[in-house]
């Protein structure tokens, strides 16, 4: 294989599109294959009421890796105010959380129990403060339940953490890895949530970035550029381990890692996306409601119109509900359960008591979230060894590396891989270096 052989990019989500773009910019000949019928992966639009809606609440954070913005600057970005609400105990709090709300969310009794736990068990307090560092140590994976209980005590674990894990993953928390040990309302530790909440009062930007033409516009922007550069995209063209020998050159693989190493048991959970219409002006100006409690099927409910005028309908308000696959499995039909959805939306204060959703469309997205069960790290390493033995395959992005990460992370990984390849690096050396991407933290 020469370093100038044509490159096959597998997957045309944001990872594959940006990798192909960067390779083309570096003067390499590129072809793309995707298992699906269109580009975009998780950023591909879902048509509802004539609107190209996102697959759930999607935005770019102001602290995102600048390469994404640089590559797409001509696509145009809007800076929009964050109007998130956290729904807890039937009341609404501003999200991201302020310090007072964080403590209010925990509740007086639970805060008191946690305080008592720390006073009587100083070791628990030390563990609590080093939560974020400890949780990354997947080698000594004691599981979510023990990890969290040791740090916040049984009461907070049972009240906040266990129901959330069961709702999202549909498994008992003892089966889930400690690396998933998120605070109930944050991606980091409770301590860093508190620190962030304090500093946020002064420093944090309460805005987000959104492409002027929507995420669909971003995908189209890449697609048009690649078309002009003569890069062919082959759809409905899944790639498995047995197909790889047919390609005489390097392969940047942003498809699912489990498709290359099916025997390693890397599992996923999917997500139901429900788009629903309501009479105009029913919902107010909240962009996203975060709903962690187990009483509700949905974990997030967003309003596409609050992200872009391109996703605003003249005739109706549109809501997008995200229901984790969790306990349901992949074949539940939520469109048959509109009465219950209405009841839950009203109880959460998302729609008024008198309102009801009208037209409803369900889309099930399989394999959206890596299912990090206990001991997953050794299975991940075994899968990567399998891929390394193929010699020409460079796994990249959220799916290729089995990561839970953001859009800009995907672009950053694609960039790192393209640099590695164009500097003559081997697939084995790339795979040896990818555990650094496990440090990437999702931002809500
Ligand atoms: C509900 C939700 C909300 C999100 N919100 C945000 C947000 O606000 N901000 C943010 O930055 N990120 C967000 N993300 C994450 C973001 O969507 C992903 O990180 C990103 O889109 C992943 O891009 P990707 O190209 O790596 O994977 P994907 O988008 O999954 O694309 C992979 C592509 O590869 C193809 N493929 C898979 N296997 C094969 C195969 N074997 N052969 C050929 N093709 C294959 C698929 O068809 C697909 O087109 C969110 C994700 C979800 C699910």
Residue 416: pLDDT over 70: yes
Q: What is the pLDDT of residues 226-265, one digit of tens each?
A: 999 999 999 999 999 998 888 999 999 999 999 999 999 9
How many whole angstroms from 413 Cα to the centroid of ligand 1?
13
Distance from C-alpha of 137 to C-alpha of 361, rounded to nearest angstrom: 41
pLDDT digits 0-9 by tens, 183-216:
544 444 555 555 555 554 444 568 999 999 899 9
Query: 255 CA to middle of ligand 1, Å?
Result: 9
pLDDT score, position 430 = 98
Q: Which residues contact 188 (CB under 8 A, 6 or more apart)?
A: 132, 182, 196, 441
- Are 58 and 192 contained in the same domain? no
Ligand 1 centroid, distance to 248 Cα (angstroms)? 27
Which range, of 94-98, 130-134, 247-251, 361-365, averages the lowest pLDDT? 130-134
All residues at 6 or more sequence positions from 56 whose CB lies less than 8 Å from its CB, including other chains: 271, 273, 300, 302, 320, 322
More confident residue, 209 or 122: 209
Which residues form ligand 1's pocket by a CB distance below 6 Å? 10-16, 33-36, 41-43, 55-60, 238-239, 254-256, 259, 271, 322, 368, 397-399, 405-408, 410
Residue ending a domain, choose from 177, 200, 223:
200
Q: Which atom of ligand 1 is nearest to the CA of 369?
A: 53
Work out whether the CA dihedral 306, 312, 315, 320 comes out positive or negative: negative
Query: Which two three-digit tokens encode residue 367?
Result: 């394999």
Question: Does residue 432 sit in helix, strand or coil?
Answer: helix
Q: How far apart are the C-alpha atoms of 117 and 124, rounded to whole Å? A: 7
50 and 155 inside one domain: no
Which of 36-45, 129-138, 195-204 shows the lowest per-residue confidence on average (mean pLDDT)? 195-204
The reply to whether 79 and 135 lie within a common domain is: no
Radius of gyration of the chain (CA): 22
CATH number assigned to the domain comprising residue 311: 3.90.660.20
With respect to residue 117, please indicate whether it lies within any of the assigned structural domains: yes
User: pLDDT value at position 3?
Assistant: 52
| CA 360 / ligand 1 centre spacing (Å) | 24
Q: Are residues 331 and 381 in the same domain?
A: no
Residues 176 and 295 in one domain: no
């Amino acid at each position: 294989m020469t370093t100038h052989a044509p490159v096959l990019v597998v997957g045309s989500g944001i990872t594959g599109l940006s990798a192909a773009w960067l390779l083309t910019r570096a003067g390499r000949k590129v072809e793309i294959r995707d298992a699906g019928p269109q580009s975009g992966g998780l950023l591909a639009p879902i048509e509802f009421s004539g609107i190209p809606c996102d697959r759930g609440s999607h935005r770019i954070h102001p602290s995102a890796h600048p390469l994404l913005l640089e590559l797409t600057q001509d696509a145009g970005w809007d800076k929009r105010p964050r109007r998130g609400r956290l729904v807890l105990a039937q009341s609404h709090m501003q999200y991201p959380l302020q310090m007072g709300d964080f403590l209010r969310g925990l509740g007086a009794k639970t805060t008191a129990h946690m305080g008592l736990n720390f006073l009587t068990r100083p070791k628990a307090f030390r563990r609590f403060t080093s939560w974020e560092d400890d949780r990354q140590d997947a080698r000594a994976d004691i599981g979510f339940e023990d990890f969290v209980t040791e740090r916040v005590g049984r009461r907070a674990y049972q009240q906040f953490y266990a129901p959330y894990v069961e709702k999202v993953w549909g498994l008992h928390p003892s089966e889930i890895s400690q690396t998933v040990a998120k605070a109930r309302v944050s991606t980091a530790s409770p301590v860093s949530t508190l620190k962030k909440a304090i500093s946020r009062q002064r420093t944090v930007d309460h805005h987000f970035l959104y492409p002027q033409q929507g995420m669909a516009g971003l995908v189209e922007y890449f697609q048009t550029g690649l078309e002009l550069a003569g890069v062919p995209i082959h759809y409905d063209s899944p790639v498995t381990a047995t197909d790889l020998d047919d390609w005489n050159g390097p392969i940047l693989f942003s498809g699912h890692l489990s498709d290359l190493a099916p025997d390693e048991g890397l599992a996923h959970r999917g997500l139901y996306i429900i788009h629903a219409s309501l009479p105009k002006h029913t919902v107010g100006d909240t962009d996203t409601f975060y709903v962690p409690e187990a009483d509700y099927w949905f974990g997030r409910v967003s309003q596409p119109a609050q992200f872009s005028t391109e996703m605003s309908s003249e005739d109706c308000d549109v809501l997008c509900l995200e229901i984790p696959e969790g306990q349901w499995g992949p074949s539940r039909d939520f469109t048959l359960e509109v009465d219950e959805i209405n009841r839950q939306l009203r109880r959460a204060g998302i729609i008024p008591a008198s309102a009801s959703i009208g037209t409803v469309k369900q889309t099930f997205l399989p394999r959206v979230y890596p299912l990090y069960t206990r001991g997953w790290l050794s299975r991940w390493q075994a899968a990567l060894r399998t891929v390394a033995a193929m010699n020409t395959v460079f796994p990249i992005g959220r799916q290729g590396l089995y990561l839970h990460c953001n859009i800009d992370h995907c672009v950053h990984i694609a960039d790192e891989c393209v640099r590695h390849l164009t500097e003559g690096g081997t697939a084995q050396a790339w795979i040896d270096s990818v555990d650094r991407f496990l440090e990437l933290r999702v931002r809500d």
